[in-house]
Amino acid sequence: MTKELYEIGETPPLGVVPKKMHSWLIRPERFGEPMQAFAKEVIDVPEIADDEVLVYVMAAGVNYNNVWAGLGIPVDVIKARQKGGETENFHIGGSDASGIVYRVGKDVTSVKVGDEVVAHCGSWSKNGELVKQGKDPMYDPTFRIWGYETNYGSFAQFTKVQDHQLLPKPRHLSWESAAAYMLVGATSYRMLMAWTPNHVKKDDVVLVWGGAGGIGCMAIQIAAAMGAKPIAVISDESKIDYCMKLGAIGCINRNDFDHWGMMPHWKDADAYGEWLKGARGFGKAIWDILGEKRGVDVVFEHPGESTLPTSIFVCETGGMVTICAGTTGFNATLDLRYHWMRQKRLQGSHFANDEQAKGINDLVIAGKVDPCLSKTFTYDQLPEAHQLMYENKHPSGNMSVLVGAVDEGMGISS
Ligand code: NAP
């Protein structure tokens, strides 16, 4: 007989979906730091539509987006969904998952009950205007990040996804490693591989900001897998070894320089000259690693305001700076004279489509990209994992939380 509720770690028989599930919920009255925002509740397992799949979550990945969801800023994701007509007054986050298919909608043919899968977090309506025209669904107004902009993410025993979000779980990985890489990996893959003709090619020089960070560790490995020459930027010598092991050909410590922030005005000759000295020094550090005077073909950007002027400066003629965030601020400053004369490209990039998610999954399956799982948490420690991230005390690489997977013998690392 089907139980109404299974305990965490007590796996329901394959394909048996109980009425209720354990979940970590964010509610508006709890908005705040992660330790306050998340609370355990038992709620109904969600219904699925004809093109959706219910996945029994084995492990969930930890990403910064659900720190934001818990804070209720810059967007109150619950209110935003209610404006769109949804009624729930709670949010179940989680934009990375590994798990087992437990139920499929009647139109689903790509997966079946029992399949071991990972989920990417790109969701969109099949009826979206641009989707119907065969354009990149990332540009469609119906695009939503699953488990952030949509409800019923992976921080619960069951999660609801669209069929196209699912990819085969790499067989050599534990559940927690499989839950760690997709959001960061697919984002990095699109940044480096989608923007032809500037996609990363053999022998290209690729500068990776935050090389030991979540997306940075993926970028180094993708560039190395393409036969390119990744150079990592770090802020602490202790991260050098980590980046070199991932495939970096050299590292630059950004604390050796102090020209960060918005560029001075071009009419302020003294300040501009000082800035130029710093930027040239940084460029020389790149030449020293390469052993030749050569610019960067692809710059992997995300700090934004404080580093973008340098990124554009060191970019080779005809090269590209690809950017997915503005962690240090949103004012992008650059000297347009060099930008047009040297015909450089500044390319915004956001998550990934199905093809790019498959691109990173194939590299992981082939053993060319490691998920860089640095720490695994138990289900009860989910708020703690997010609190570490909120306080910027999280370790290099990526973190996971066990949901259905048990921790015995699973090699919980710390
Ligand atoms: P993370 O693990 O915290 O890593 C960020 C790295 O940035 C750190 O390791 C740090 O390395 C570096 N950094 C911090 N402050 C810096 C500064 N002032 N100047 C230069 N580098 C600095 O975060 P993540 O997961 O890699 O994510 C990075 C950013 O990308 C976040 O803003 C995230 O929200 C965004 N993101 C966007 C998408 C998208 O689809 N648009 C997807 C994933 C992530 P060092 O201190 O060693 O230099």
**Mutational pocket test of ligand 1: of 207, 215, 392, the residue with most ligand atoms within 8 Å of the beta carbon:** 215
Q: Give the closest residue (by CA) to ligand 1 atom 24.
A: 214
Query: Considering its fold, how many domains does the chain have in total?
Result: 2
How far does the centroid of ligand 1 lie from the alpha carbon of residue 178, in Å?
Answer: 21
How far does the centroid of ligand 1 lie from the alpha carbon of residue 274, in Å?
Answer: 27
Does the residue 4 lie in any domain?
Answer: no
Are 33 and 142 part of one and the same domain? yes
Of the pLDDT bands very low, low, confident and very high (cuts 50, 70, 90), residue 411 is very low
Q: In this predicted structure, what is the pLDDT of residue 276?
A: 97
Backbone angles phi, psi at 168, to 5 degrees: -65, 140
**Cβ contact 40:88 at 8 Å:** no
Q: Give the closest residue (by CA) to ligand 1 atom 30.
A: 325
Q: Give the closest residue (by CA) to ligand 1 atom 15.
A: 303
Residue ending a domain, among 308, 332, 348, is: 348
Instruction: Read off the pLDDT of residues 313-349 as tens digits, 9 standing for 90 and up.
Output: 999 999 999 999 999 999 999 999 999 999 999 999 9
Are 71 and 162 part of one and the same domain? yes
* Residues paired with 251 in a beta bridge: 232
Q: Return the ligand 1 atom nearest residue 397 CA.
A: 2
Q: In this predicted structure, what is the pLDDT of residue 409?
A: 41
Are 148 and 134 part of one and the same domain? yes
Are 171 and 200 part of one and the same domain? no
Q: Give the closest residue (by CA) to ligand 1 atom 4.
A: 213
Are 202 and 157 part of one and the same domain? no
Are 315 and 389 part of one and the same domain? no
* pLDDT at 250 > cutoff 70: yes
Instruction: Read off the pLDDT of residues 116-127 as tens digits, 9 standing for 90 and up.
Output: 999 999 999 999
Q: What is the CATH number of the domain that holds 28?
A: 3.90.180.10
Q: What is the CATH number of the domain that holds 311?
A: 3.40.50.720
Q: In this predicted structure, what is the pLDDT of residue 407?
A: 60
How far does the centroid of ligand 1 lie from the alpha carbon of residue 303, in Å?
Answer: 6
Instruction: Read off the pLDDT of residues 357-368 as tens digits, 9 standing for 90 and up.
Output: 999 999 999 999
User: ω before 197 within 30° of 0 (cis)?
Assistant: yes
How far does the centroid of ligand 1 lie from the alpha carbon of residue 149, in Å?
Answer: 20
Using a 6 Å CB cutoff, which residues line ligand 1?
A: 64, 183-184, 187, 209-210, 212-216, 233-236, 239, 254, 302-303, 306-307, 324-325, 327-328, 350-351
How far does the centroid of ligand 1 lie from the alpha carbon of residue 324, in Å?
Answer: 10
Are 52 and 200 part of one and the same domain? no
Instruction: Note the pTM of the prediction, 2 decimals.
Output: 0.96
Does the residue 43 lie in any domain?
Answer: yes
Q: Which residue has the tokens 């450089």?
A: 344
Q: Give the closest residue (by CA) to ligand 1 atom 19.
A: 303
* pLDDT at 141 > cutoff 70: yes
What whole-number distance in Å separates Cα of residue 365 and Cα of residue 116? 13
Of the pLDDT bands very low, low, confident and very high (cuts 50, 70, 90), residue 2 is confident
Query: Following CA atoms 26, 27, 28, 32 in sequence, which dihedral angle do they give, to the nearest 10 degrees?
Result: -40
Hey, which bits of 220-349 come out as E strands?
Answer: 229-234, 250-253, 296-301, 315-323, 345-348
Does the residue 48 lie in any domain?
Answer: yes
Q: Which domain holds residue 393?
A: 20-181+372-402
Are 44 and 170 part of one and the same domain? yes
Are 169 and 267 part of one and the same domain? no
Q: Which residue has the tokens 């918005």?
A: 262
Query: For the residues 274-300, what does the mean pLDDT come to?
Result: 98
Are 29 and 176 part of one and the same domain? yes
Continuous segment of H or E residues that includes residue 54: strand 52-61
Q: In this predicted structure, what is the pLDDT of residue 406?
A: 79
